[in-house]
Chains A and B, each alone.
Chain A
Amino acid sequence: MSLLSIKNLKVYYYTLSGIVRAVDGVSMVVSKGEWFSVVGESGSGKSTLAYSIINLVPPPGRIVEGEIVFNEVNLAKAPHSVIRRVRGREIGFVFQDPMTSLDPLRTVGSQIKEVIEEHGGASGREVEVIAKEAFSEVGLSEEKFYSYPHQLSGGQRQRVAIAIATVLKPKLLIADEPTTALDVIVQRSIMEIFWRLKSRGMSIVLVTHDLALASEWSDRIAVMYAGELVEIGPTRDIIEAPLHPYTQLLVKSTPDIQGDKALNYIPGEPPDLKNPPSGCRFHPRCPYATEICRREAPKPTIVRGRIVSCHLLSPTR
């Protein structure tokens, strides 16, 4: 059963030096209780995609086209008051940098309590009980409740941020590179928190540049390149038998801790989203590129249970 369904989403930034097509025709579906990861390199538009789900694209960016249907409501067109109530209560959001995502002037406890009160989640004594419960869920001791952000470590702050995002038991948790600023040990414990939340029926959308991390935890992976999703499929299939040339190169360039395989890299650099390449956006870097790749943009097609956008795999060829 689908919880979130995005159709042909286009999010552009209207800068003075041109239109940046950060998200350009993305379609994806996230099911209930599923862990869905969006993997892509820096500047591929994955964060913009995450922000656009809760309508938080910073100006000069805006959603140009497409649908974001969550719980049968199209968030792309919903009024501000509706989106405000969806944020925090239905969809939790965890940001990349826990150092700056908490207000330095107030105790973390007062910040989480405020979220509960604003959504009418509880009143009086109950608020504190719920807030402290959320703290223990993410493995924070009760005394941290009265701390200011500067008194906490990066990992603790990210736990606070997760507690705030999930205190109202949202159906969906979006995490934008939640562990990029943290070390691997903390990273693992944060992922374990997500895993616990998922096992209780929460859907997770993890946005990351780390394919290894995504492959370890997610049910399905979407690979994003230059504002488009080039391949979506079950994690195991994507890692073991990638279909899209970009995914193949990405998998090959992921270091293996045991293996002695040589580490590959993808030649060239990511395209300028103000002026993306014609046809398939990956063709300048693609080892298999042919004439049609330069001329025509490939359409997403279903190949062996996956959605892939590549002329090489297109059945019409």
Chain B
Amino acid sequence: MFIFPSIASLIKLPGSLKIIVGVLIVFIVFLAGLLAPIIAPYDPVKSAGPPLTPPSPKNLMGTDHLGFDVFSRIVWGSRIVLQVVISATLVALIVGVILGIVSGFYGGLLDRLLSMIMDSLYAFPSLILAIAIAAVLGPSPYNAAIAIATVYIPTYYRMIRGQTLSIKSQLYVEAAIAAGLRDRTVMLSYIFPNLIYTILVILTLNIADAILTEAGLSFLGLTVSPPTPDWGFDLRIGQRFLLSGYWWLSVFPGLAIMVLALGFALIGEGLSDRLQLRGLR
């Protein structure tokens, strides 16, 4: 009863609306990526009509300068965004959380060294640093993921280190140490479970940010090579035709980026609303 409150009481909690809308958006985009071959009416890299056709029932979002269907390209393009962003944030999360817990738990020289490295990484604007790393590694979705992961490790590290410091001073952690438990056990079964909520909040807020960074990288052509469908890259191609009045080439990929980022941001905001309530209680 304590653990599974009813759905009705869950909805009344603060942040519920944000979470529901956010989850819905993310779910739809995931579904689109998963079922792209079924949903997309055309092959994203084959001509689906005359070039630069405005939106119509036949081509929902029009066609681009090569006659490719924009809607189909967006549906297929969600795969690249999701793959790059999710693998990057998972890597950043795992590395950042492990380093943060170890650093906060042990303190001392290791902590100071890691903090220094992380702070210097954090000092760079994330997009610029990601561009620099991706440019050095060369354009590919894999390298883009590495660049994004590197940029976001400090975000996790700093939050988790701070939380670990405060959880470490809790008496039950001290009691676990006094009972002679191994450091590893104390970190894994006493500190980590108390971090899960925080991790969830940073993760969702961070994914939203990472989506924008990924879009920035693909805008510069650092993730895929044409004609692979990709939101950021399509946005950039469309930009050339924007002033000539062919707005649908850029606007729809741009909207897709915005909506997906919004979805994750809403989940994160909703979760942190709930976290604050817990703190006030």
- Please report A residues at the B interface, Cβ cutoff 8 Å: 54, 56, 58-59, 84-89, 92-93, 95, 97, 100-106, 111, 114-115, 118-119, 161, 164-165
Contacts and interface: CB of A to CB of B under 8 A. Distances in A.
Contacts of A164: 175, 179
A101 B180 contact: no
Contact of A84 (B107, B172, B182, B189): B182
Q: What 8 A-B pairs come out closest when comparing CB atoms?
A: A88-B180, A87-B180, A93-B178, A88-B179, A100-B171, A101-B175, A103-B172, A101-B171
Contacts of B113: none
Interface in B184-212: 185, 189-190, 193-194
A39 to B, nearest CB: 22
A87 B190 contact: no
Contacts, number: 67
A291 B107 CA distance: 47
A122 to B, nearest CB: 15
B185 A114 contact: yes
Contacts of B175: 93, 95, 101-102, 161, 164
Given A103-B190, A105-B193, A56 B172 contact: no
B176 interface: yes
A97 B171 contact: yes
13 contacts: A56-B177, A88-B178, A88-B180, A93-B179, A97-B171, A101-B175, A102-B175, A103-B172, A103-B176, A103-B190, A118-B181, A119-B180, A165-B179
Contacts of B170: 100
Most A CB atoms within 10 A — which of B107, B171, B175, B194? B175
B172 A87 contact: no
B181 A115 contact: yes
A89 B180 contact: yes
Interface in B152-180: 169-172, 174-180
A87 B179 contact: yes
Contacts of A59: 107
B172 A102 contact: yes
A299 to B, nearest CB: 34
Given A106-B189, A118-B185, A100 B180 contact: no
A95 B171 contact: yes
A86 B180 contact: yes
Contacts of B193: 103, 105-106
A93 B180 CA distance: 10
Nearest to A83: B180
B179 A105 contact: no
Contact of B180 (A58, A85, A97, A105): A85
Secondary structure type dominating chain B contacts: helix
A105 B171 CA distance: 14
Nearest to A117: B185
Given A87-B180, A114-B181, A95 B190 contact: no
A103 to B, nearest CB: 5
Interface in B9-67: none
Contact of B194 (A56, A105, A114, A115): A105
B171 A115 contact: no
Contacts of A86: 180
A317 B243 CA distance: 104
Nearest to A102: B172
A87 B177 contact: yes
Nearest to B194: A105
Contacts of B172: 100-104
B164 to A, nearest CB: 15
A85 B177 CA distance: 11
B171 A84 contact: no
Contact of B174 (A56, A88, A111): A56
Given A95-B174, A103-B172, A103-B190, A88 B107 contact: no
A159 to B, nearest CB: 14
Nearest to A110: B189
Given A88-B180, A161-B175, 6 more contacts: A56-B177, A59-B107, A84-B180, A87-B177, A95-B175, A103-B176
A168 to B, nearest CB: 8
Contacts of A87: 177-180
Contacts of A111: 176
Nearest to A170: B180
B22 to A, nearest CB: 26
Most A CB atoms within 10 A — which of B169, B170, B172, B177? B172
